[in-house]
Structure 1
Amino acid sequence: NPLPSVLSRSGVVAFNERPSSSDMYEKMLALNGEASYDSGFMSESYSQAFVDAYRQNSILHGSLYEMTTNTIFPETRLGDQLEMVAKLIKTRVERGKERELFYVRIGGFDTHANVGPELATKFDEVNGALEAFVIEMKHQKVWDNTTIVQFSEFARTLSPNGNGGTDHGWGGQYFVAGGSINGGQ
Protein backbone atom coordinates (compact mmCIF):
# COMPACT_ATOMS: atom_id res chain seq x y z
CA ASN A 1 0.00 0.00 0.00
CA PRO A 2 1.36 3.42 -0.87
CA LEU A 3 2.05 5.77 2.01
CA PRO A 4 0.22 9.10 2.09
CA SER A 5 2.03 12.25 1.08
CA VAL A 6 1.44 15.38 3.13
CA LEU A 7 1.95 18.57 1.17
CA SER A 8 1.52 22.19 2.10
CA ARG A 9 -0.69 24.36 -0.04
CA SER A 10 2.47 25.81 -1.59
CA GLY A 11 3.86 22.44 -2.67
CA VAL A 12 7.00 20.50 -1.85
CA VAL A 13 10.32 21.79 -0.63
CA ALA A 14 13.16 19.94 -2.32
CA PHE A 15 15.25 17.83 0.02
CA ASN A 16 18.73 19.28 0.41
CA GLU A 17 18.17 22.11 -2.09
CA ARG A 18 21.72 23.41 -1.73
CA PRO A 19 23.93 20.39 -1.16
CA SER A 20 27.45 20.98 0.10
CA SER A 21 28.75 18.54 -2.51
CA SER A 22 27.72 17.97 -6.12
CA ASP A 23 27.57 14.21 -5.53
CA MET A 24 25.58 14.42 -2.28
CA TYR A 25 22.73 12.28 -3.64
CA GLU A 26 25.09 9.45 -4.55
CA LYS A 27 26.76 9.70 -1.13
CA MET A 28 23.40 9.52 0.65
CA LEU A 29 22.35 6.50 -1.39
CA ALA A 30 25.67 4.78 -0.71
CA LEU A 31 25.35 5.49 3.00
CA ASN A 32 21.72 4.33 3.11
CA GLY A 33 21.82 1.78 0.33
CA GLU A 34 22.40 -1.91 0.54
CA ALA A 35 23.01 -3.04 4.11
CA SER A 36 25.63 -5.52 5.21
CA TYR A 37 24.77 -8.96 6.57
CA ASP A 38 25.01 -7.73 10.17
CA SER A 39 23.19 -4.40 9.78
CA GLY A 40 20.06 -5.43 11.60
CA PHE A 41 16.38 -4.88 10.99
CA MET A 42 16.22 -1.31 12.35
CA SER A 43 19.16 -0.19 10.23
CA GLU A 44 17.70 -1.73 7.08
CA SER A 45 14.24 -0.27 7.80
CA TYR A 46 15.65 3.22 8.42
CA SER A 47 17.79 3.11 5.30
CA GLN A 48 14.90 1.93 3.12
CA ALA A 49 12.56 4.58 4.57
CA PHE A 50 15.17 7.28 3.92
CA VAL A 51 15.79 6.20 0.32
CA ASP A 52 12.02 5.92 -0.35
CA ALA A 53 11.36 9.37 1.17
CA TYR A 54 14.18 10.94 -0.84
CA ARG A 55 12.92 9.43 -4.10
CA GLN A 56 9.31 10.41 -3.37
CA ASN A 57 10.42 13.96 -2.57
CA SER A 58 12.40 14.11 -5.83
CA ILE A 59 9.43 12.88 -7.87
CA LEU A 60 6.94 15.28 -6.24
CA HIS A 61 9.25 18.29 -6.35
CA GLY A 62 10.24 17.58 -9.95
CA SER A 63 6.60 17.21 -11.01
CA LEU A 64 5.30 20.29 -9.23
CA TYR A 65 8.27 22.68 -9.41
CA GLU A 66 7.06 24.73 -12.38
CA MET A 67 3.60 23.21 -12.81
CA THR A 68 0.84 25.69 -13.53
CA THR A 69 -2.89 25.39 -13.91
CA ASN A 70 -4.97 26.82 -16.73
CA THR A 71 -7.40 28.38 -14.28
CA ILE A 72 -6.81 31.31 -11.96
CA PHE A 73 -7.67 30.22 -8.43
CA PRO A 74 -8.70 32.71 -5.76
CA GLU A 75 -5.89 33.70 -3.40
CA THR A 76 -7.50 32.16 -0.34
CA ARG A 77 -6.47 29.30 1.91
CA LEU A 78 -8.97 26.95 0.24
CA GLY A 79 -8.16 28.29 -3.23
CA ASP A 80 -4.46 27.58 -2.67
CA GLN A 81 -5.19 24.06 -1.44
CA LEU A 82 -7.46 23.18 -4.36
CA GLU A 83 -4.97 24.64 -6.82
CA MET A 84 -2.31 22.31 -5.36
CA VAL A 85 -4.73 19.37 -5.74
CA ALA A 86 -5.33 20.40 -9.37
CA LYS A 87 -1.56 20.43 -9.96
CA LEU A 88 -1.21 16.99 -8.41
CA ILE A 89 -4.02 15.66 -10.60
CA LYS A 90 -2.36 17.22 -13.64
CA THR A 91 0.89 15.36 -12.83
CA ARG A 92 -0.71 12.01 -11.98
CA VAL A 93 0.60 10.16 -15.05
CA GLU A 94 4.12 11.49 -14.55
CA ARG A 95 3.97 10.40 -10.90
CA GLY A 96 2.55 6.97 -11.79
CA LYS A 97 -0.79 7.45 -10.00
CA GLU A 98 -4.00 5.91 -11.26
CA ARG A 99 -6.28 6.90 -8.38
CA GLU A 100 -5.76 9.37 -5.55
CA LEU A 101 -7.60 10.85 -2.60
CA PHE A 102 -6.95 14.41 -1.45
CA TYR A 103 -7.98 16.08 1.78
CA VAL A 104 -8.25 19.85 2.13
CA ARG A 105 -9.75 21.84 4.94
CA ILE A 106 -11.19 25.21 5.77
CA GLY A 107 -11.94 26.59 9.20
CA GLY A 108 -13.51 29.75 10.53
CA PHE A 109 -17.09 28.60 10.89
CA ASP A 110 -17.10 29.01 14.68
CA THR A 111 -19.32 32.08 14.51
CA HIS A 112 -20.29 33.01 18.05
CA ALA A 113 -20.76 36.58 16.80
CA ASN A 114 -21.76 38.25 13.53
CA VAL A 115 -22.88 35.02 11.90
CA GLY A 116 -24.43 36.72 8.85
CA PRO A 117 -21.37 38.52 7.46
CA GLU A 118 -18.92 35.83 8.64
CA LEU A 119 -20.88 33.03 6.99
CA ALA A 120 -21.29 35.01 3.76
CA THR A 121 -17.51 35.51 3.61
CA LYS A 122 -16.83 31.80 4.20
CA PHE A 123 -19.40 30.76 1.59
CA ASP A 124 -17.80 33.14 -0.93
CA GLU A 125 -14.41 31.51 -0.25
CA VAL A 126 -15.80 28.00 -0.69
CA ASN A 127 -17.75 28.94 -3.81
CA GLY A 128 -14.82 30.71 -5.49
CA ALA A 129 -12.37 27.88 -4.79
CA LEU A 130 -14.78 25.13 -5.88
CA GLU A 131 -15.77 27.02 -9.03
CA ALA A 132 -12.11 27.38 -10.06
CA PHE A 133 -11.43 23.72 -9.24
CA VAL A 134 -14.36 22.49 -11.35
CA ILE A 135 -13.29 24.67 -14.29
CA GLU A 136 -9.74 23.30 -14.03
CA MET A 137 -10.92 19.68 -13.81
CA LYS A 138 -13.04 20.21 -16.93
CA HIS A 139 -10.06 21.77 -18.70
CA GLN A 140 -7.92 18.75 -17.74
CA LYS A 141 -10.78 16.52 -18.99
CA VAL A 142 -10.99 14.66 -15.68
CA TRP A 143 -14.20 16.15 -14.27
CA ASP A 144 -16.17 12.98 -15.06
CA ASN A 145 -13.65 11.03 -12.96
CA THR A 146 -13.62 13.49 -10.06
CA THR A 147 -15.78 13.32 -6.95
CA ILE A 148 -15.82 16.03 -4.30
CA VAL A 149 -17.12 15.12 -0.86
CA GLN A 150 -17.62 17.93 1.65
CA PHE A 151 -18.32 16.97 5.23
CA SER A 152 -18.41 18.44 8.69
CA GLU A 153 -19.46 17.22 12.10
CA PHE A 154 -19.58 20.82 13.31
CA ALA A 155 -22.90 22.61 13.64
CA ARG A 156 -24.51 25.64 15.21
CA THR A 157 -27.68 26.12 17.20
CA LEU A 158 -30.75 27.36 15.35
CA SER A 159 -31.51 30.06 17.88
CA PRO A 160 -29.17 33.06 18.02
CA ASN A 161 -27.17 34.16 21.02
CA GLY A 162 -26.89 37.78 22.19
CA ASN A 163 -23.96 38.61 19.88
CA GLY A 164 -25.64 38.09 16.53
CA GLY A 165 -24.10 34.64 16.34
CA THR A 166 -24.93 31.09 17.34
CA ASP A 167 -23.50 28.53 19.72
CA HIS A 168 -22.19 25.00 19.23
CA GLY A 169 -24.70 22.35 18.24
CA TRP A 170 -24.87 18.80 16.93
CA GLY A 171 -24.83 18.22 13.21
CA GLY A 172 -23.42 16.48 10.22
CA GLN A 173 -23.45 18.22 6.88
CA TYR A 174 -22.39 16.62 3.63
CA PHE A 175 -22.52 17.33 -0.06
CA VAL A 176 -21.19 15.34 -2.98
CA ALA A 177 -20.41 16.76 -6.42
CA GLY A 178 -18.66 15.46 -9.50
CA GLY A 179 -18.89 14.94 -13.21
CA SER A 180 -20.42 11.48 -12.88
CA ILE A 181 -22.75 12.30 -9.99
CA ASN A 182 -26.38 11.94 -11.00
CA GLY A 183 -27.90 14.47 -8.63
CA GLY A 184 -31.47 14.94 -7.58
CA GLN A 185 -32.18 11.25 -7.08
Structure 2
Amino acid sequence: MDRRKFIKNSALASSLLFVPSFVKAFESTTTEGFGYKRLVIVQLAGGNDGLNTIIPHNNDIYFNSRPRLAITKDIIKLNDNLGFHPSLGPLRSLFDNGELSIINNVGYPNPVRSHFRSMDIWQTASSSDEYLQSGWLGRYLDKYGKKPYNAIEMDEQLSLAMKGERFNGIATDNYKVLYKTAKDPFFKSVLNHYNDAHLSEHNLGYLYQTMIEAKSSAKYIYETTKIKSSQQDYPQNKFAKQLKNVAQFINSDLDTKVFYTSLGGFDTHANQQNKQAKLLKQYAESVLAFVKDLKQNQRFEDTLILTFSEFGRRVKQNAANGTDHGAANNIFVIGKNLKQSGFYNNLASLSDLDKNGDLKYEIDFRTIYATILNHWLKADDTTILNNSFTKLNFI
Protein backbone atom coordinates (compact mmCIF):
# COMPACT_ATOMS: atom_id res chain seq x y z
CA MET A 1 0.00 0.00 0.00
CA ASP A 2 1.59 3.30 -1.07
CA ARG A 3 1.59 6.41 1.10
CA ARG A 4 -1.03 8.29 -0.94
CA LYS A 5 -3.51 5.42 -0.75
CA PHE A 6 -2.87 4.93 2.93
CA ILE A 7 -3.42 8.58 3.83
CA LYS A 8 -6.58 8.74 1.75
CA ASN A 9 -8.24 5.53 2.90
CA SER A 10 -6.99 4.65 6.36
CA ALA A 11 -9.19 5.61 9.31
CA LEU A 12 -6.13 5.07 11.45
CA ALA A 13 -4.30 7.87 9.70
CA SER A 14 -7.28 10.22 9.54
CA SER A 15 -7.88 9.91 13.25
CA LEU A 16 -4.30 10.71 14.17
CA LEU A 17 -3.26 13.63 11.97
CA PHE A 18 -1.74 16.29 14.20
CA VAL A 19 -0.52 19.76 13.34
CA PRO A 20 3.25 20.23 12.93
CA SER A 21 3.71 20.98 16.63
CA PHE A 22 3.00 17.30 17.28
CA VAL A 23 6.22 16.61 19.16
CA LYS A 24 5.87 19.72 21.31
CA ALA A 25 2.35 18.63 22.24
CA PHE A 26 3.73 15.51 23.86
CA GLU A 27 6.57 17.38 25.54
CA SER A 28 4.17 19.83 27.19
CA THR A 29 1.80 17.31 28.76
CA THR A 30 1.54 16.76 32.50
CA THR A 31 0.34 13.93 34.71
CA GLU A 32 -2.05 16.14 36.67
CA GLY A 33 -5.68 15.75 35.63
CA PHE A 34 -4.95 12.28 34.26
CA GLY A 35 -5.72 9.93 37.13
CA TYR A 36 -7.34 6.51 37.22
CA LYS A 37 -10.97 7.53 36.61
CA ARG A 38 -12.62 7.07 33.24
CA LEU A 39 -15.32 8.95 31.35
CA VAL A 40 -17.62 7.29 28.80
CA ILE A 41 -19.65 9.57 26.53
CA VAL A 42 -22.84 8.32 24.85
CA GLN A 43 -24.20 10.57 22.09
CA LEU A 44 -27.81 10.06 21.03
CA ALA A 45 -27.48 11.56 17.57
CA GLY A 46 -30.37 13.27 15.84
CA GLY A 47 -32.04 15.04 18.74
CA ASN A 48 -33.73 12.57 21.09
CA ASP A 49 -37.24 13.54 22.22
CA GLY A 50 -36.71 14.14 25.92
CA LEU A 51 -40.41 14.51 26.72
CA ASN A 52 -41.12 10.97 25.57
CA THR A 53 -37.98 9.75 27.34
CA ILE A 54 -38.68 11.24 30.75
CA ILE A 55 -42.45 11.52 30.67
CA PRO A 56 -44.51 14.06 32.67
CA HIS A 57 -47.22 11.47 33.23
CA ASN A 58 -49.30 13.72 35.50
CA ASN A 59 -49.36 16.74 33.19
CA ASP A 60 -52.42 17.42 31.03
CA ILE A 61 -50.50 19.83 28.80
CA TYR A 62 -48.21 16.98 27.75
CA PHE A 63 -51.12 14.77 26.69
CA ASN A 64 -53.04 17.61 25.03
CA SER A 65 -49.96 18.70 23.08
CA ARG A 66 -49.41 15.17 21.78
CA PRO A 67 -52.82 13.58 21.18
CA ARG A 68 -51.35 10.74 19.05
CA LEU A 69 -47.76 10.77 20.24
CA ALA A 70 -47.94 10.93 24.04
CA ILE A 71 -46.99 7.75 25.89
CA THR A 72 -50.09 6.58 27.75
CA LYS A 73 -49.40 2.94 28.59
CA ASP A 74 -46.74 1.10 30.59
CA ILE A 75 -45.02 4.28 31.78
CA ILE A 76 -42.42 3.41 34.42
CA LYS A 77 -43.38 5.92 37.09
CA LEU A 78 -40.40 7.13 39.06
CA ASN A 79 -42.23 9.68 41.20
CA ASP A 80 -45.60 11.46 41.25
CA ASN A 81 -44.77 13.53 38.17
CA LEU A 82 -42.12 11.87 36.02
CA GLY A 83 -41.46 8.43 34.61
CA PHE A 84 -39.41 6.42 32.12
CA HIS A 85 -40.46 5.55 28.59
CA PRO A 86 -41.44 1.84 28.73
CA SER A 87 -38.32 0.94 26.72
CA LEU A 88 -36.08 2.25 29.51
CA GLY A 89 -37.12 -0.50 31.90
CA PRO A 90 -33.56 -1.92 32.09
CA LEU A 91 -32.42 1.36 33.68
CA ARG A 92 -34.90 1.11 36.55
CA SER A 93 -32.45 -0.85 38.68
CA LEU A 94 -29.80 1.86 38.22
CA PHE A 95 -32.33 4.52 39.24
CA ASP A 96 -33.40 2.55 42.32
CA ASN A 97 -29.77 1.86 43.30
CA GLY A 98 -28.86 5.55 43.21
CA GLU A 99 -26.59 5.02 40.20
CA LEU A 100 -28.43 7.33 37.80
CA SER A 101 -28.84 11.10 37.93
CA ILE A 102 -31.29 12.69 35.47
CA ILE A 103 -30.65 16.38 34.81
CA ASN A 104 -33.57 18.13 33.13
CA ASN A 105 -33.76 21.31 31.04
CA VAL A 106 -30.16 21.23 29.78
CA GLY A 107 -29.27 23.53 26.89
CA TYR A 108 -27.59 26.85 26.13
CA PRO A 109 -28.53 30.47 25.37
CA ASN A 110 -29.88 31.29 21.90
CA PRO A 111 -30.31 27.64 20.86
CA VAL A 112 -29.61 26.50 17.31
CA ARG A 113 -31.86 23.92 15.66
CA SER A 114 -29.43 22.73 13.01
CA HIS A 115 -28.13 19.23 13.73
CA PHE A 116 -24.62 20.01 12.52
CA ARG A 117 -24.28 23.38 14.21
CA SER A 118 -25.83 22.30 17.49
CA MET A 119 -23.63 19.21 17.59
CA ASP A 120 -20.59 21.41 16.98
CA ILE A 121 -21.65 23.58 19.91
CA TRP A 122 -22.01 20.58 22.22
CA GLN A 123 -18.77 19.01 21.03
CA THR A 124 -16.66 22.17 21.23
CA ALA A 125 -18.38 23.67 24.30
CA SER A 126 -18.78 26.96 22.44
CA SER A 127 -21.43 29.64 22.66
CA SER A 128 -24.07 29.62 19.92
CA ASP A 129 -22.32 32.51 18.12
CA GLU A 130 -18.80 31.16 18.60
CA TYR A 131 -17.00 28.85 16.17
CA LEU A 132 -14.22 26.68 17.56
CA GLN A 133 -12.02 24.21 15.70
CA SER A 134 -11.17 22.06 18.71
CA GLY A 135 -13.36 19.91 20.96
CA TRP A 136 -13.66 20.08 24.73
CA LEU A 137 -12.21 16.57 25.14
CA GLY A 138 -9.50 17.34 22.58
CA ARG A 139 -8.43 20.37 24.64
CA TYR A 140 -8.39 18.13 27.69
CA LEU A 141 -5.98 15.89 25.79
CA ASP A 142 -3.91 18.92 24.74
CA LYS A 143 -3.26 19.68 28.38
CA TYR A 144 -3.10 16.23 29.96
CA GLY A 145 -2.73 13.60 27.22
CA LYS A 146 0.34 11.44 26.76
CA LYS A 147 -0.55 9.09 23.90
CA PRO A 148 -3.28 8.95 21.21
CA TYR A 149 -4.91 5.98 22.95
CA ASN A 150 -5.60 8.13 26.04
CA ALA A 151 -8.91 8.91 24.30
CA ILE A 152 -10.68 6.47 21.98
CA GLU A 153 -13.80 6.91 19.87
CA MET A 154 -15.61 3.75 18.86
CA ASP A 155 -16.08 4.75 15.23
CA GLU A 156 -14.18 4.96 11.96
CA GLN A 157 -14.03 8.75 12.11
CA LEU A 158 -13.04 11.04 14.94
CA SER A 159 -15.63 13.50 16.21
CA LEU A 160 -14.81 17.16 16.67
CA ALA A 161 -15.18 16.65 20.43
CA MET A 162 -12.01 14.51 20.41
CA LYS A 163 -9.87 16.82 18.29
CA GLY A 164 -7.53 19.17 20.13
CA GLU A 165 -5.52 22.12 18.96
CA ARG A 166 -2.33 20.05 19.08
CA PHE A 167 -3.38 16.55 20.04
CA ASN A 168 -6.12 14.15 18.87
CA GLY A 169 -7.60 10.97 20.22
CA ILE A 170 -7.86 7.83 18.12
CA ALA A 171 -10.90 6.44 16.28
CA THR A 172 -11.50 2.75 15.69
CA ASP A 173 -14.60 0.58 15.52
CA ASN A 174 -12.47 -2.57 15.60
CA TYR A 175 -9.18 -2.61 17.47
CA LYS A 176 -8.13 -5.87 15.79
CA VAL A 177 -8.50 -4.33 12.33
CA LEU A 178 -6.64 -1.28 13.63
CA TYR A 179 -3.75 -3.52 14.63
CA LYS A 180 -3.70 -5.35 11.29
CA THR A 181 -3.70 -2.02 9.44
CA ALA A 182 -0.80 -0.79 11.54
CA LYS A 183 1.19 -3.90 10.57
CA ASP A 184 1.03 -2.95 6.90
CA PRO A 185 4.50 -2.83 5.29
CA PHE A 186 4.08 0.91 4.80
CA PHE A 187 4.53 1.44 8.53
CA LYS A 188 7.73 -0.56 8.46
CA SER A 189 8.94 1.69 5.68
CA VAL A 190 8.09 4.73 7.80
CA LEU A 191 10.13 3.38 10.67
CA ASN A 192 13.07 2.67 8.39
CA HIS A 193 13.10 6.12 6.82
CA TYR A 194 12.01 8.40 9.64
CA ASN A 195 15.57 9.14 10.69
CA ASP A 196 16.60 10.20 7.21
CA ALA A 197 18.29 13.56 7.42
CA HIS A 198 16.09 15.19 4.80
CA LEU A 199 12.91 14.68 6.87
CA SER A 200 11.95 17.48 9.19
CA GLU A 201 8.96 18.93 11.02
CA HIS A 202 8.49 21.33 8.11
CA ASN A 203 7.81 18.69 5.46
CA LEU A 204 6.85 15.07 6.13
CA GLY A 205 8.66 14.59 9.41
CA TYR A 206 5.71 15.33 11.64
CA LEU A 207 3.43 13.10 9.57
CA TYR A 208 5.87 10.24 9.76
CA GLN A 209 6.21 10.71 13.50
CA THR A 210 2.42 10.53 13.69
CA MET A 211 2.43 7.24 11.82
CA ILE A 212 4.97 5.84 14.24
CA GLU A 213 2.73 6.83 17.13
CA ALA A 214 -0.22 5.25 15.30
CA LYS A 215 1.61 1.95 14.95
CA SER A 216 2.66 2.04 18.58
CA SER A 217 -0.88 2.87 19.75
CA ALA A 218 -2.47 0.11 17.69
CA LYS A 219 0.03 -2.42 19.05
CA TYR A 220 -0.51 -1.27 22.62
CA ILE A 221 -4.32 -1.41 22.35
CA TYR A 222 -4.28 -4.86 20.75
CA GLU A 223 -1.74 -6.49 23.05
CA THR A 224 -3.22 -5.02 26.22
CA THR A 225 -6.85 -5.72 25.36
CA LYS A 226 -6.49 -9.28 24.08
CA ILE A 227 -5.48 -10.43 27.55
CA LYS A 228 -8.99 -10.05 28.99
CA SER A 229 -12.18 -10.87 27.07
CA SER A 230 -15.66 -9.83 28.22
CA GLN A 231 -17.79 -12.57 29.76
CA GLN A 232 -20.96 -10.46 29.83
CA ASP A 233 -23.81 -11.07 27.39
CA TYR A 234 -24.64 -8.01 25.30
CA PRO A 235 -27.54 -7.33 22.92
CA GLN A 236 -26.85 -7.94 19.24
CA ASN A 237 -26.60 -4.41 17.88
CA LYS A 238 -23.89 -2.00 16.80
CA PHE A 239 -24.19 0.25 19.85
CA ALA A 240 -23.89 -2.69 22.23
CA LYS A 241 -20.76 -3.77 20.38
CA GLN A 242 -19.25 -0.33 20.99
CA LEU A 243 -19.91 -0.59 24.71
CA LYS A 244 -18.64 -4.16 24.85
CA ASN A 245 -15.34 -3.03 23.34
CA VAL A 246 -15.17 -0.12 25.78
CA ALA A 247 -15.75 -2.51 28.69
CA GLN A 248 -12.99 -4.76 27.41
CA PHE A 249 -10.63 -1.78 27.20
CA ILE A 250 -11.51 -0.67 30.73
CA ASN A 251 -11.38 -4.16 32.22
CA SER A 252 -7.97 -4.68 30.59
CA ASP A 253 -6.66 -1.53 32.32
CA LEU A 254 -5.96 0.22 29.05
CA ASP A 255 -4.48 3.63 29.79
CA THR A 256 -7.47 5.41 28.27
CA LYS A 257 -9.38 8.05 30.20
CA VAL A 258 -12.08 9.06 27.69
CA PHE A 259 -14.25 6.85 25.49
CA TYR A 260 -16.75 8.21 22.97
CA THR A 261 -19.70 6.18 21.68
CA SER A 262 -22.85 7.03 19.73
CA LEU A 263 -26.29 5.74 18.80
CA GLY A 264 -27.97 7.46 15.85
CA GLY A 265 -31.46 7.69 14.36
CA PHE A 266 -33.20 10.05 16.79
CA ASP A 267 -34.31 12.62 14.20
CA THR A 268 -37.93 11.51 14.46
CA HIS A 269 -39.96 13.98 12.36
CA ALA A 270 -42.41 11.25 11.38
CA ASN A 271 -43.79 8.06 12.94
CA GLN A 272 -41.77 8.64 16.06
CA GLN A 273 -43.28 6.16 18.50
CA ASN A 274 -41.93 2.91 17.06
CA LYS A 275 -38.59 4.41 16.02
CA GLN A 276 -37.83 5.95 19.38
CA ALA A 277 -39.07 2.92 21.30
CA LYS A 278 -36.68 0.67 19.39
CA LEU A 279 -33.72 3.02 19.85
CA LEU A 280 -34.33 3.58 23.56
CA LYS A 281 -34.59 -0.18 24.04
CA GLN A 282 -31.19 -0.64 22.36
CA TYR A 283 -29.75 2.12 24.51
CA ALA A 284 -31.12 0.86 27.84
CA GLU A 285 -30.35 -2.83 27.31
CA SER A 286 -26.83 -2.07 26.09
CA VAL A 287 -26.03 0.33 28.92
CA LEU A 288 -27.28 -2.12 31.54
CA ALA A 289 -25.08 -4.89 30.09
CA PHE A 290 -22.15 -2.46 30.09
CA VAL A 291 -22.69 -1.53 33.74
CA LYS A 292 -22.98 -5.20 34.72
CA ASP A 293 -19.74 -5.92 32.89
CA LEU A 294 -17.93 -3.14 34.74
CA LYS A 295 -19.35 -4.26 38.08
CA GLN A 296 -18.23 -7.86 37.54
CA ASN A 297 -14.70 -6.58 37.02
CA GLN A 298 -14.73 -4.00 39.83
CA ARG A 299 -14.44 -1.09 37.40
CA PHE A 300 -17.82 0.60 37.77
CA GLU A 301 -16.84 2.72 40.76
CA ASP A 302 -14.16 4.47 38.69
CA THR A 303 -16.27 4.97 35.55
CA LEU A 304 -18.72 7.78 34.80
CA ILE A 305 -21.17 7.55 31.86
CA LEU A 306 -22.67 10.71 30.34
CA THR A 307 -25.53 10.50 27.82
CA PHE A 308 -26.58 13.54 25.80
CA SER A 309 -28.31 14.56 22.57
CA GLU A 310 -27.71 17.75 20.59
CA PHE A 311 -31.18 19.12 21.32
CA GLY A 312 -34.66 18.05 22.40
CA ARG A 313 -37.88 18.23 20.38
CA ARG A 314 -40.86 20.59 20.30
CA VAL A 315 -43.52 20.11 22.94
CA LYS A 316 -46.30 19.83 20.35
CA GLN A 317 -46.34 16.93 17.94
CA ASN A 318 -46.35 17.66 14.22
CA ALA A 319 -48.77 16.48 11.53
CA ALA A 320 -46.64 13.43 10.70
CA ASN A 321 -46.90 11.84 14.16
CA GLY A 322 -43.43 13.05 14.98
CA THR A 323 -41.71 16.00 16.59
CA ASP A 324 -39.59 18.79 15.18
CA HIS A 325 -36.29 20.19 16.41
CA GLY A 326 -36.45 21.77 19.84
CA ALA A 327 -34.07 23.08 22.47
CA ALA A 328 -33.61 22.01 26.11
CA ASN A 329 -33.38 18.32 26.91
CA ASN A 330 -32.51 15.86 29.67
CA ILE A 331 -29.17 14.17 30.12
CA PHE A 332 -28.28 11.01 32.04
CA VAL A 333 -25.27 10.60 34.34
CA ILE A 334 -24.56 7.04 35.46
CA GLY A 335 -22.01 6.16 38.11
CA LYS A 336 -21.33 4.86 41.60
CA ASN A 337 -21.64 7.09 44.67
CA LEU A 338 -23.41 9.96 42.91
CA LYS A 339 -23.94 12.91 45.22
CA GLN A 340 -27.43 13.49 43.87
CA SER A 341 -29.09 10.53 42.20
CA GLY A 342 -32.61 10.30 40.83
CA PHE A 343 -33.89 13.60 39.50
CA TYR A 344 -31.39 16.41 39.88
CA ASN A 345 -34.10 18.98 39.14
CA ASN A 346 -37.73 19.24 38.08
CA LEU A 347 -38.91 19.41 34.49
CA ALA A 348 -39.35 22.93 33.13
CA SER A 349 -42.86 24.33 32.84
CA LEU A 350 -44.92 23.12 29.87
CA SER A 351 -47.09 26.22 30.10
CA ASP A 352 -44.20 28.70 29.97
CA LEU A 353 -42.36 27.84 26.75
CA ASP A 354 -39.99 29.94 24.70
CA LYS A 355 -41.20 31.79 21.58
CA ASN A 356 -40.70 28.68 19.42
CA GLY A 357 -42.73 26.40 21.65
CA ASP A 358 -39.74 24.73 23.27
CA LEU A 359 -38.84 24.00 26.87
CA LYS A 360 -36.76 26.79 28.37
CA TYR A 361 -33.27 25.75 29.29
CA GLU A 362 -32.27 26.02 32.95
CA ILE A 363 -28.82 24.44 33.06
CA ASP A 364 -26.05 25.30 30.61
CA PHE A 365 -24.51 22.08 29.31
CA ARG A 366 -21.06 23.54 29.90
CA THR A 367 -21.67 23.54 33.66
CA ILE A 368 -21.99 19.77 33.36
CA TYR A 369 -18.72 19.56 31.43
CA ALA A 370 -17.05 21.83 34.00
CA THR A 371 -18.28 19.62 36.84
CA ILE A 372 -17.02 16.43 35.18
CA LEU A 373 -13.65 17.95 34.30
CA ASN A 374 -13.11 19.44 37.74
CA HIS A 375 -14.73 16.95 40.11
CA TRP A 376 -14.23 13.69 38.20
CA LEU A 377 -11.15 14.09 36.01
CA LYS A 378 -9.49 16.60 38.42
CA ALA A 379 -8.64 18.86 35.48
CA ASP A 380 -8.50 22.61 35.03
CA ASP A 381 -11.97 23.13 33.57
CA THR A 382 -11.57 26.90 33.16
CA THR A 383 -8.62 26.53 30.80
CA ILE A 384 -10.22 23.70 28.83
CA LEU A 385 -13.62 25.40 28.44
CA ASN A 386 -12.11 28.86 27.91
CA ASN A 387 -14.41 30.21 30.60
CA SER A 388 -15.51 29.69 34.19
CA PHE A 389 -18.79 27.85 34.79
CA THR A 390 -20.63 27.04 37.99
CA LYS A 391 -20.12 23.47 39.21
CA LEU A 392 -23.11 21.25 39.94
CA ASN A 393 -23.42 18.78 42.75
CA PHE A 394 -24.14 15.42 41.09
CA ILE A 395 -20.66 13.87 41.47
TM-score, with normalisation over the residues of structure 1? 0.81
Q: Measured at CA, do residues 103 and 16 of structure 1 come closer, stay the same or move farther in structure 2, by a change above 3 Å?
A: closer
Q: Distance in 2 between matches of 1:136 and 1:147?
A: 14
Q: Distance in 2 between matches of 1:40 and 1:16?
A: 22
Q: Distance in 2 between matches of 1:122 and 1:60?
A: 30
What is the percentage of aligned positions where both structures have the same residue? Answer: 25
Q: CA deviation at 1:28?
A: 4.6
Q: CA deviation at 1:160?
A: 1.5
Paired residue type of 1:11: Y
- 2:181 is aligned to 15
Match status 1:77 vs 2:235: no
Q: CA deviation at 1:11?
A: 2.8
Match status 1:49 vs 2:215: no
Q: Match for 1:110 among 242, 255, 267? A: 267
- 2:170 is aligned to 5
TM-score, with normalisation over the residues of structure 2? 0.40
> Unaligned regions of 5+ residues in structure 2, if any?
1-144, 149-168, 345-395
Q: Distance in 2 between matches of 1:110 and 1:151?
A: 14
- 2:248 is aligned to 87
Match status 1:142 vs 2:299: yes
- 1:30 is aligned to 192
How many residues in Structure 1 have an aligned counterpart in Structure 2? Answer: 174
Q: Distance in 2 between matches of 1:166 and 1:43?
A: 50
Task: Tell whether the 8 Å contact from 2:175 to 2:218 is kept in structure 1 after alignment.
Answer: no
- 1:160 is aligned to 317
Q: Give SS of 1:15's match.
A: helix
Task: Tell whether the 8 Å contact from 1:70 to 1:139 is kept in structure 2 after alignment.
Answer: no
Paired residue type of 2:175: G
Q: CA deviation at 1:165?
A: 1.4
Q: Distance in 1 between matches of 2:257 and 2:229?
A: 19
Q: Distance in 2 between matches of 1:76 and 1:11?
A: 18
- 2:282 is aligned to 125
Structure 1 stretches of 4+ moved >4 Å = 16-20
Task: Tell whether the 8 Å contact from 1:35 to 1:44 is kept in structure 2 after alignment.
Answer: no
Q: Distance in 1 between matches of 2:217 and 2:282?
A: 32
Paired residue type of 2:279: K
Task: Tell whether the 8 Å contact from 2:234 to 2:289 is kept in structure 1 after alignment.
Answer: yes
CA RMSD of aligned residues (A): 2.5
RCO higher in structure (CA 8 A, sep ≥6): 2
Task: Tell whether the 8 Å contact from 2:251 to 2:299 is kept in structure 1 after alignment.
Answer: no
- 1:178 is aligned to 335
Paired residue type of 1:31: H
